Amino acid sequence: MKSPWKVLMVAPVLLLFSHSLASAVDQDQPGASSFNSHGCLGCVLVVSVIEQLAQVHNSTVQASMERLCSYLPEKLFLKTTCHFLVQIFGSDIIKLLDVHMNADVVCHALEFCKQDAGQSQCHLYPLPQEAWKFMLEKARKIIKKSPTMKYHRSGSSICSLPFLVKICQKIELSIKNAVPFKDVDSDKYSVFPTLRGYHWRGRDCNDSDKTAYPGRRPDNWDVHRDSNCNGIWGIDPKDGIPYEKKFCEGSQPRGIILLGDSAGAHFHIPPEWLTASQMSLNSFFNLPTALTDELNWPQLSGVTGFLESTSGVEETSIYHRLRKRNHCNHRDYQSISRNGASSQNLENFIGSLSRNQVLDHPAIVIYAMIGNDVCNGRADPVPEMTTPEQMYSKVMQTLKHLNSHLPNGSHVILYGLPDGTFLWDNLHNRYHPLGQLNKDVTYAQLFSFLSCLKISPCSGWMSSNKTLRTLTSERAEQLSKTLKKIATSKIFTNFKLFYMDFAYHEIIEEWQRRGGQPWQLIEPVDGFHPNEVASLLLADLFWKKIQFQWPQVLGKENPFNSQIEQVFGDQGGH
Ligand SMILES: *[C@@H]1O[C@H](CO)[C@@H](O)[C@H](O)[C@H]1NC(C)=O
Ligand SMILES: *[C@@H]1O[C@H](CO)[C@@H](O)[C@H](O)[C@H]1NC(C)=O
Ligand SMILES: *[C@@H]1O[C@H](CO)[C@@H](O)[C@H](O)[C@H]1NC(C)=O
Ligand SMILES: *[C@@H]1O[C@H](CO)[C@@H](O)[C@H](O)[C@H]1NC(C)=O
């Protein structure tokens, strides 16, 4: 017997995956309809992979589904869930794929995808209108007597299966709150990597002591304990001077804090998850970690990343550089970023920023809401875009909050918005990872599928409509100007304020100088986010500009760095 809990874990696989893919940017979609849309997207992705696995291995659809399940890890019930999904929908999918229906037709026949009255059907693969009608009718006949469909037909998604309703609601709620599976105290430093743990802010060094955490000024020079978790503590036996005093006093330590969106948190779906030709037992090993980090990889991001990048570029994150500059900064990073974050909703989670004005070191805060103020999934995105007036008022509110929470001597840098027209320009006629095997899915098709489902991360820029793309860029530029105006005219007592352009064209030029192509800087699966290489190049550009224009932001180079290494090694790692 399968326990109900395991049964109910069906939803996370389909939902977390597809939901996060599309809602990385806009989480404020109306509940029910976006829920259905994500079911449709999830279905089309999964059925496409099943179909392509069968093609690559010249196997039956049954064998291909089993293969896919066998690749999934046991963790989070992923494998169990997969087998269960096969039990529910497998026989229908086999019947349909065996007569060469494509994933769009299969998912419409299974009623994961629905056509709203008066709307065109949403499809990923090209198919002439007449052929479409004929295929869909044929498909419906084939699975007419399917027992699953009897349940399924009564509602509109997998979640209308009676035994799934409740858990679906729970899961949707937890996705909305962006903390799947478990409630976590977001103010707390953690010894656990995911679920907003040390992938997001410096690892705690004593879980049972609330007064010890990264970024605080040392307590009694950390004679007896490492109160700021930077790995430096105790007394030098040679002269009786506390190490923290000897190595860090006057070194101007500071932390790095990002107020960001999915780009800052490094939203990333590995293309291996969708590429049938390269899929193996290793492809999904990182899926549980990614799901419990909301499909973000802050540990590899350009601002707060602390792991070595495997992307092949030698640039490192801003945190890395601050730590290299002054080892006393070890572990002092916070990524306060959310999928879907914008100037307008930052107030909902800025409270999780942790800095004590009296006890802690100053911080460098990077404000980088780079897309969601102009990006949304609406058919006509323009009325939903943030206006310069709305921007002004919310950013001032944010800065007031920061002024009352940051220690004196901090710095705040406002990032402008990029011009996203390079997305369409560089991607529209290229093949998406799902389309590479049969040369049948371009980014233009993916973008129009997502827009049709009303779950595009950015229907303004990910659009074939040039007028709309230009309008989106114009608004982005107005909003950047608003930020710049604030930075050049407002003064705050506890921090200095700067503005920096989000100069995507500069990193594209740099990448081209190295022989690269612009499309190689964009996340391949979502066709929207800057990828790891782009984030690191941006970090490099940021660092160089700051060093050149405002070097005081970065603090001094610590002359004791090598001595710290001698005594404390890697300072306890990350
Ligand atoms: C695929 O499998 C079928 C049936 O097992 C076989 O007849 C066919 O030759 C195979 N094709 C390739 C290209 O291996
Ligand atoms: C952690 O903090 C507790 C409470 O202050 C203390 O008793 C314990 O010794 C500390 N552990 C370490 C490893 O410092
Ligand atoms: C903040 O620090 C500056 C020097 O960095 C000092 O001039 C100013 O008085 C301080 N402000 C407060 C409120 O302590
Ligand atoms: C393109 O977008 C503009 C601005 O939203 C809109 O007015 C126009 O109707 C769109 N054109 C087409 C062909 O959809």
Taking only the tens place, the pLDDT of each residue in 62-71 is 999 999 999 9
- Going by C-alpha positions, the residue among 224, 550, 562, 534 that lies closest to residue 413 is 550
Q: What is the DSSP-derived secondary structure letter of residue 556?
A: P
The 10s digit of each residue's pLDDT in 223-238 is: 999 999 999 999 999 9
Shortest CA distance to 274 belongs to which of 432, 431, 420? 432
pLDDT tens digits for 265-281? 999 999 999 999 999 99
Nearest one of 472, 386, 378 to 423, comparing CA atoms: 472
State how far the Cα of 270 lies from the Cα of 439, in Å rounded to an integer. 20
Tell me the CA–centroid distance for residue 483 and ligand 1, in Å: 61
Task: Please name the residue that has the structure tokens 């909301």.
Answer: 294
pTM beyond 0.95 = no
Whether the pLDDT of residue 6 is over 80: the answer is no
Q: By the 8 A CB rule, do 112 and 39 touch?
A: yes
Pick 165 or 481 by higher pLDDT.
Answer: 481
Q: How confident is the model at residue 123 (pLDDT cuts 50, 70, 90)?
A: very high
Cα(322) to centroid of ligand 3, in Å? 23
Which whole-number Å values give the CA distances from 510 to 19, 517, 522, 536, in the listed order? 34, 10, 15, 12
Any catalytic annotation for residue 262?
Answer: yes
E-state strands within 60-140: none
Confidence check: pLDDT of 475 > 90: yes
Matching residue, tokens 């233009």: 444
d(CA 413, CA 407): 15
For the residues 162-182, what does the mean pLDDT come to? 56
pLDDT at position 187 is: 52
Average of per-residue pLDDT values in the chain:
89
* Tokens found for residue 222: 């950390």
Of 357, 410, 493, 496, the residue with max ligand 3 atoms within 8 A of its CB, to mutate for a pocket test, comes to 493
Q: What is the pLDDT of residue 22?
A: 42
Q: Give per-residue pLDDT as tens, 486-526.
A: 999 999 999 999 999 999 999 999 999 999 999 999 999 99
Starting from the CA of residue 56, give the closest ligand: 1
Q: What average pLDDT does the segment 129-134 reach?
A: 88
Is the separation of the CB atoms in 428 and 443 below 8 Å? Answer: yes
Q: Report, as an integer, the average pLDDT of 169-197.
A: 65
Query: DSSP string of 95-112?
Result: HHHHTT--HHHHHHHTTS
Instruction: Give rounded-to-5 percent helix, strand, coil for the chain.
Output: 50, 5, 45
DSSP assignment string, 153-210: HHSSSGGGSGGGHHHHHHHHHHHHTT--SS---TTS--SSSSTTSTTTB---S-TT-T
- Measured from the alpha carbon of residue 225, the closest ligand is 2
Question: Does residue 1 have a pLDDT over 70?
Answer: no
Ligand 3 contact via 408 beta carbon (within 6 Å): yes
Q: Is 404 in the pocket of ligand 3 (CB under 6 A)?
A: no
Residue pointed to by tokens 């290299």: 324
Exposed e or buried b for every residue in 258-273, given b needs 16+ CB within 10 A?
bbbbbbbbbbbbbbbb
Residue 144's pLDDT is: 87
Kindly report, residue by residue over 319-364, the tens digit of the pLDDT: 999 999 999 999 999 999 999 999 999 999 999 999 999 999 999 9
Residue 19: pLDDT over 60: no
From ligand 3's centre to the CA of 494, what distance in Å? 7
List all residues whose CB is within 6 A of at least one atom of ligand 4. Answer: 380, 382, 465, 467-468, 471
Q: Which of 23, 262, 283, 463 is catalytic?
A: 262
**By C-alpha distance, which of 444, 448, 465 is closest to 456?**
448
Instruction: Tell which residue, 433, 306, 409, has the closest CA to residue 361.
Output: 409
Ligand that lies nearest to the alpha carbon of residue 357, given by its number in the listed order? 3
Half-sphere exposure of 517 (CA within 13 A, CB side): 7
Atom 1 (ligand 3) nearest CA: 408
Q: Which two tokens stand for residue 383?
A: 């009325």
368 closest CA partner among 407, 341, 344? 341
pLDDT for 3 equals 27
Going from the Cα of 556 to the center of ligand 1, the distance in angstroms, rounded, reads 67
Strand partners, 415: 500
Q: How many angstroms is it from 169 CA to the middle of ligand 2?
A: 41
